[in-house]
A = this chain, B = another copy of it.
């Protein structure tokens, strides 16, 4: 008889918005929360018995109830409350994984009264994944859809040439990518003091942007490593970083047929291509630590 292998279940993409009021000043947290549970789940697969199954609908209700009961200090802290609850309250559930997408909002500046008007920032989506097995925690935070560009200080040459190579060497090109990154914290135990999740996120984002901007790049791999190394060097709460960086190609358009010289000196014109694209993926680790973030970054 075929064997049941690894499995998990839960309610995905619970969209929860919490508004707190400090007089006329409102604050907003806007999350998309996904719950995955695993444990003694053989019977539901083999015979259809739901005797061990907490319904996914209940996990949804729990997300909304906990947003009220505990508030949402941070995506990470909210996920910790949820994961702990499922594992400690349900004997059949041995492991809970909570994934969160978070959307940022800015205030709308205006001349009226109150401070309860917001415009969605619309830049990157913040990510958090909280996993708990009843004894130790794994917290991986991240972001996706952060598009960046250096319009110079990027080269690409000295590469291998085989019979299928036609690419010319480049000594001044655009380097652009849409950053997808994940970073794993070394906090694993309730006895340790927890990081300041909000401050950590802001600092990691600042460091990766600055490393991208400040690296004179001979390859996107080199830039990726610098971005990861900057985080490891500056944020002691983080042991591992993984990036997936599509090389968003910008090709200098050949305008010679129209009698135009298209060089970088005075206003270069580029074609921004869609597909195909280079894809560079790598992990950067604190010395002595083990890589645990999976090779393929998913949308948490």
| A→B interface (CB under 8 Å) | 1-21, 26, 28, 30, 34, 36, 41, 44-58, 60-62, 64-65, 67-69, 71, 89-90, 92, 105, 108-112, 114, 116-124, 145-153, 156-167, 174, 209-210, 212-214, 217-219, 221-222, 224-225, 228-229, 232-233, 240, 242, 246-247, 250, 253, 255, 257-258, 260, 262, 264-287, 289, 291, 294-296, 298
- Complex: how many Å from CA A50 to CA B229? 20
| A271 CB contacts on chain B under 8 angstroms | 15-17, 64
What is the chain B residue whose CB lies nearest that of A117?
B213
| A116 CB contacts on chain B under 8 angstroms | 150-153
- Complex: how many Å from CA A184 to CA B116? 31
- Complex: how many Å from CA A211 to CA B11? 24
The winner among A41, A268, A269 for most chain B CB atoms within 10 A is A269
Q: Are A222 and B48 in contact (CB under 8 A)?
A: yes
| A11 CB contacts on chain B under 8 angstroms | 276-279
Given contacts A149-B105, A219-B50, whether A65 and B120 have CB atoms under 8 Å apart is no
- Complex: how many Å from CA A14 to CA B251? 13
Give the number of copies in the complex: 4
What is the chain B residue whose CB lies nearest that of A86?
B162
Q: Are B5 and A58 in contact (CB under 8 A)?
A: no
Q: Are A4 and B282 in contact (CB under 8 A)?
A: yes
- Complex: how many Å from CA A242 to CA B3? 12
Specify which of B71, B145, B161, B267 is in contact with A18 (CB 8 Å cutoff): B267
Q: Are B52 and A2 in contact (CB under 8 A)?
A: no
Given contacts A65-B255, A278-B9, whether A121 and B118 have CB atoms under 8 Å apart is no
Q: Are A108 and B210 in contact (CB under 8 A)?
A: yes
| A276 CB contacts on chain B under 8 angstroms | 11-15, 34, 60
